[in-house]
Structure formats: structure tokens, C-alpha cells
A and B are shown apart, each in its own frame.
Chain A
Amino acid sequence: MRHPIIERLRRALPAGAVLSSSEELKPYECDALTLYRQMPLAVALPADEAQVAAVLRLCHEAQVPVIARGAGTGLSGGATPRADAVLLSLARLSRIVGIEPLARTARVQPGVRNLAISEAAAPYNLYYAPDPSSQIACTIGGNVAENSGGVHCLKYGLTVHNVLALRVATLEGEVLEIGSAAPDAPGYDLLALLTGSEGLLGVVTEVTVRLIPKPQCARVVLAVFDDLAKAGRAVADVIAAGITPAGLEMMDRPTIAAVEPFVRAGYPLDAEAILLCESDGAPAEVEEEILHMESVLRGAGATECRVSRDEAERLRFWAGRKAAFPAMGALSPDYYCMDGSIPRRRLAAVLQAIREMEGRYGLRCTNVFHAGDGNLHPLILFDSNIADEVARAEAFGAEILELCVREGGSITGEHGVGMEKIDQMCVQFGSGELAVFHAVKHAFDERGLLNPGKAVPTLHRCAELGRLHVRGGQLPHPELPRF
């Protein structure tokens, strides 16, 4: 029997904006974490803020859960559907509302693709700095929900540092104006609270971002290492030398081997690791900085440093990094991308520990990641057709994340918790903090209808896993339901 919400949504939205047949729902059954698949109850495709609010209001009335979705490139299952939930796609809110070159801001709808903002700002020599590798596809709404990062975030900041204001529709269908183009909006920093909230607190209906002037030029050093640990230490040395590279990325040997045939970037196939270290700014400044970078990298044991001579070569050096994820498809039927972060000085040790885990789990793991900010992306290679490989891959991933927490880091640097890392949340946080997260959620969404089951585990779940840290022998927030 069809759920009554479908009819109500049809009446509220234009023709063709509600999908409910299984062929129509199929493309929405997962995000980029394809391990989890589930057909939603229905998909709603509103075209403007008023329609988004209407969908939310109807779901609230009918007590039907709602899951927001941008482009579905999320890697933690944040947009994974539920059988009892409406999937609210923001894809049709894809208009650039306005670019203000003198104020250096862009106002855009949430379904605008990340790269489209920089393209629209290009005539003014401005751009939007955070550049996730998925930037041709992912949406700014998804970026806000995940607080996404990218190659250039080391110098220019994450999404939270580059968003100025949001319009957010609440579950009741009310629109909140959060932040402003003027600095330091009054009251609590709800902009920070909403950024990275994974669609649990509200649905972003408009985003105002900061644009920055394009640097005059950029060059990149490709540094070659014969030892992974040395490359890890080189990263810490660069930062310790007071350099803030525009990007500092690492690729290990298996990654190099996989991408080189794809892109022909000229990477040395016998290297254990390469670092790409970029400098941008005024030409004389870049020249000075590149020399400094080279000397630090050589000092740390680089066997070779190649400096891009022109823009074409710079792009070629980067091409392999950008193609790394797709190239992995050729290495293995499936891969699982982890996202832990650690202090940079622990890179060498953690990479070594991951090597050891490969043997124990009988699975290969390659590394291509944002080394400069200590954000690992171990890619665990597996084959879902082999009986227990999925389970082994998941266990391998969980062990890496728990190691990151022990090293003083986090289970997620930029991909979010979603469904995937929900159990590891019990490792990173105690019951007091988790209870605060639930209470914050409750303050926005009393009935728990927005993206339920994601990002914050129930205390009950943590207790079952034997991972609940209770301080002082007392469960916090006794007034809240015990999930």
C-alpha cells in the first residue's frame, strides 16, 4: 500500500517532483558509500525554498523522517535512504542567486555544484577556495552539511572558514537566517553549529560564501621518497619550518602505480611515496617559497625534487592526485575510503601501523591523502563477491579509526560520520558529550525526524558495543528519552 505522504507531497509540489516507482527510486538507493543501499519511501524534488519548507512541514505533520540529499557524493552514508523516509533532493535548487565582486561574496542555492561557484566568479578573478576532489559533482549544500575540505584547505580553510551566511529550513518549515555577510553576526555561532551537522538540524536552502582573489601564480614541487616514513616526517618538517603550502598531498607506491598509466604524469614508478607541495602567490614570493620547500624536503630525505616549470606541467603533476580515486577502480573491484585525522608528527608511525594491519586482515590498503593537515585517506581494497571481504574491510577500517583516536586525532577529518562511523563515535566521545549532541539535535528536531540514525549514535548502541564511557557513574540528561 502506498504511504499517504506521497499523495500529500504530490499535491504540494509541481508535476514530476515526487518520485515513487522503483525504477525512479533506484538511482537514489545509495550515496558514494555503496556498501549501504536502501530504497527510500519516495523522492521529493522541490524547486525552491518555499517547496522545501512545504515538504518539511508535511513530513513533520505526518511524522515521516526526511533525509536531505545533494549530489550523493558523500562517502560516509550521510544520504543513505531509509525505507520509511522521504529523500529530499536539493538538486533542482541549482541557481547562482548573485555574485557581488566588490563584497567578494556569492549567494547560491544549495544544489549548486562546488566548482560552478568558482566558474561563475572567474570573470572577476575571484574563486571559492574549498575544493573537494569531488568538486565537479558535489553540491555546496552537501559541503556545508559535511564541512568539506580539499587540497587547498591547508592554506585557505575548510567550508566552515569560507561560508558567511545560510538560510536553513527547519523541520517545522520555518526559515532561519544564520550568519551574515558582515563579520561576527550577533548571538551564538549557529553558522559553525550548522556546518558539518550532516542534515540533522535543518535543510540548507541558501548559502553565502566568501570569494577570494585568485593568486597570481602557483607552482608545485614533486618530491620523491624511497621510504614512506621519511615522506611522513617530511610533511611535519615542512609545517615546522613555518611554511604554509597551498597544498601538501601524499601518494604511496601502489597509488602511483595505479594512476600513472591513467594520467601519464611522469611519476617515478620506483618511488615509495611522493609528495606534492604547492606554493601560490606573487611570482617572486612563490619563487622564494619553492626554494625553501625544496631545501626542507631534501633535508628530510627526498631523493629528487621536480618543480613545475609552467601551468601545463603543474596541472600534469596534480592530474594523478585528482585521478587517484577513479584509478583505484582498476586495481580492485571495490575500495573503502577511510578518513581519520592525526597530528602530523604521527604520520610516519600510523602509516607503518596500517602496513602491519594489511597483513593481519589479508587486504591491501593504499594511501593518497591530505598529508599537510594530517588527514589520512587509507583506501582498503576488497572484493564484495568474496564471502568475508566486506566484513574484513570494515573491521580493518574500524581499527584504523580507533588508532587515529588513540593518536590524539579524529575518526573523520572531512567526510563526516554518517552511517559508516557511527560506532566509532562511541570511541571518540564519552556519554556526556554524546548526550549533549542528542540534546542539541532535540533543540532543532524534537521528534528526531531529520536524517535519523546518522552522525550521532544512541547511548544504547554504544552501551551494547561496550563502549559507553560514563563519568561519575551517572547517565547525563536523565530527562531525555534513552534512545
Chain B
Amino acid sequence: MFDLQPLEERIRTAAAARRPLRIRAGGSKDFYGGPLAGELLEVGALSGVTLCEPTELVLSARAGTPVAELERVLAAHGQMLAFEPPQFAGRATLGGAVASGLSGPRRVYCGAVRDFVLGVEVIDGRGERLSFGGKVIKNVAGFDVSRLMVGSLGTLGVLTEVTLKTVPRPRAECTLRFEMDQPKALESMRLWATRPLPLSATEWEDGVLHVRLSGAEAAVRAARQDLGGEIVDGAHNRWESVREQQLPFFTAARELWRVSLPVDSPPLPAAGPTLIEWGGSLRWLSGPQDGNALRTLAGRLGGHATLYRAPSKPPSGPFQPLSSAMLSVHKRLKAVFDPHGIFNRGRLYPDF
């Protein structure tokens, strides 16, 4: 058994002294979210798969387990993580994937991180060990605290173990390439999504749309004939680069905005290059933007804009501000789990 006691004690001591802690495992997402404040609390050592039940499509692991390791274990059983979280050169961990809530190319077709979280073990801001959810697919007992942890960026507690639902790997996969301008690509992705096609990823950049089909052999074959386009060989690497944000578009040393919109939103006016994923609902904008104007526009369209990566962290925070009613709910929930405000202060919002 892993001894969690030292971690609990460290948290209790910090809570008593009101000393902020900064939770970190692989450090692959140091760039993400607000400023990194507080004494370092390293949790990367909390590693290892604790339950692998391929016949149940369930996997539990300690939060510091690298995502890459989970994928290796699952691949041996013909399974995978449906939400394709980035592995960031092997440094991304399960806890970080859950805390950041960042999903990959399959997001809108198969589900997000939160859709596959079944249970969590967490140490709260009083140093108390708690367990929510479970290891079964269906469970509605108690409030869904497990999913509340997803995207909370460590502000509610230290995740120590997570249970996920896994999925079988698709039997067949095929990538198609189309030359299209942005409006046409958006329209095509939208129309295709209203039909029962085995779509599993879409990505548009610089006049080229890539579409991945995954599923049963027959379904992929039929969809391929139906959609047309040009078959891309060896597309696996391209999708890896999208998932890992390793395309030159992502690695340029410039501001990177991540704008999430309802799928029927028009093209955004952008100062620099745009890359589109998720059937049109994720728009990456590279280069400096008028942040306020972008947020206003995104909000008006029913979405939000995140300053995903920037040379320096902005004081207003990277995330779209909450309404005052929602902010006060957030503060009250923060106080439930972390009454002394010690975890990852300011990482999600400057207010807590």
C-alpha cells in the first residue's frame, strides 16, 4: 500500500499555517492556467495502475501515473482512453489530465475527460482522505464530486487515485484529406455531424481539412466512399501531433488562444493563423489577439475564450470570467473542499 499519511500531514500543517501549496506531478501543464503560487507539493511519486479490469472496461490508477503508461497498459488489452488526453512527451499524468480537463481530438465525437471519470480519491484542504464515485459504470448515489474535480485545476484537493471507463480500440481507422477554405470546412464538418457517420476527429488548417473515421470495418468503408476526399496513408502521426500539440502551428513561440464555440458558429476574425478541431467547436488562434474583444465575441456566440499559452501570464487570468452569481457559487464550493484556500491559489481564477 502506498502511504498517504505524510501527504495528509503536510496538507494539515499547511492548512494550519494557511500556507499555500502548489500541486505538481509531471509539470507538463505548468504553462496552463493562472500563476503558479505556493510551496511545491510534488505528487508525481503517487504512481501505478491499481486495478485493470479489461473485461469491465474499467481502470484505476494512482494520480501520478503517466498517461503514456496507462495507454500502454490499455493497448495490451486492445483498449484505450477515449478522450485522448495529451501525453506531453510522457510527462502528463492521470491526475493532471483530470485536473486540467483537457481532452484530445476525439472530444466531441466520443466524449471528454469528465465523461469517462467514474470515481476519485482525493485529499481535501483539511488533509482528509475522501472517496467519491466508484468502479462501476452506473452510480448515482451522492453528488457527483468525481466529475466536479475535472477541470478544477487542483483548487479543490489533491487527487490521489482515479477510476476511468475505458473503450475498445476501433477495429478500423481511415483518414481523409480535403482542400477547403474555412467557411466550407466548417459547413462540411457540421453537415457530416448531423449524419450517422463514424467520425472520430476533424482538423482544419491552412486550406486543408483532415477527417478521421474510426469504427467497424464496414462502417469506415461505407463512410469513406460516401465522403470522398483523398485517403491519407500513415495519418496516425498527424493525429498524434494534433493530440500532442506538436504541429508547427502549436509550437510557434507566440500567444495561443483556445476558443470554444457552439458548433454552428461562423469563422472568427483572427489576426493570425487559425487551426480548427472538434467539428468546428474548437478554434485555436495563434498570435496576439485583442483578448477583451475576443472574449466578448465568444461570449456572444455562446462560447468562451482561453489564453492557453502565453509568454507571460496575464493578470486578468487565462479563463473567461464568470458571472458574479457563478463566481459566488465557485467561492462557496472552494470553501467546502479547501476552507483555508491553500491549494493552487489563483490557478483557475484570481479570486480564489
Contact = CB atoms under 8 A, between A and B. Distances in A.
A103 B54 contact: no
Most chain A CB neighbours (cut-off 10 Å) among B78, B219, B301 = B219
Contact of B141 (A182, A236, A285, A410): A410
B269 interface: no
A382 to B, nearest CB: 24
| Most chain A CB neighbours (cut-off 10 Å) among B132, B135, B336 | B336
Contacts of B325: 174-176
B126 A476 contact: yes
Contacts of B144: 147, 160, 192-193, 195-197
B196 A345 contact: no
B115 A157 contact: yes
A160 B147 contact: yes
A42 B130 CA distance: 40
Contact of B152 (A177, A188, A417): A188
B330 A436 contact: no
A370 B140 CA distance: 15
B127 to A, nearest CB: 10
B194 A184 contact: no
A359 interface: no
Given A183-B278, A215-B196, A345-B55, A102 B128 contact: no
B101 A184 contact: yes
A124 interface: yes
A262 interface: no
Given A103-B264, A345-B55, A414 B148 contact: no
Interface stretch (B21-29, B87-95, B204-212, B255-263): B255-263
Interface stretch (B35-43, B68-76, B174-182, B302-310): B302-310
Interface in A152-195: 153, 157-158, 160-161, 174-178, 180-190, 192-193, 195
A168 B11 CA distance: 35
Contacts of A439: 336
A414 B140 contact: yes
A281 B219 contact: yes
Interface in B323-344: 323, 325-326, 329-330, 332-333, 335-337
A462 B263 CA distance: 47
A428 B196 contact: no
Given A100-B264, A186-B319, A288-B218, A181 B302 contact: yes
Contact of B303 (A182, A215, A433): A182
A375 B135 contact: no
A102 B264 contact: yes
B287 interface: no
Nearest to B337: A436
Interface string B139-150: 111111101101
B216 A188 contact: no
30 contacts: A102-B263, A178-B326, A180-B302, A184-B112, A187-B151, A187-B319, A187-B322, A188-B156, A189-B101, A189-B114, A192-B144, A193-B144, A193-B148, A196-B140, A242-B168, A281-B196, A282-B196, A282-B222, A284-B219, A285-B218, A374-B137, A413-B136, A413-B140, A417-B142, A425-B142, A432-B130, A440-B333, A442-B336, A443-B333, A471-B129
Given A196-B144, A433-B142, 14 more contacts: A146-B140, A176-B326, A183-B112, A213-B195, A240-B54, A341-B138, A344-B56, A345-B53, A375-B137, A409-B139, A414-B138, A440-B143, A440-B336, A443-B336
Q: Which 7 pairs, one residue from A and one from B, show the smallest C-beta to C-beta distance?
A: A192-B147, A182-B303, A284-B218, A413-B138, A242-B168, A240-B55, A410-B139
Interface of A: 100-105, 124-126, 146-147, 149, 153, 157-158, 160-161, 174-178, 180-190, 192-193, 195-197, 201, 213-216, 236, 239-240, 242-244, 281-282, 284-285, 287-289, 341-345, 370, 373-375, 408-417, 421, 425, 428-430, 432-433, 436-437, 439-444, 455-456, 471, 476
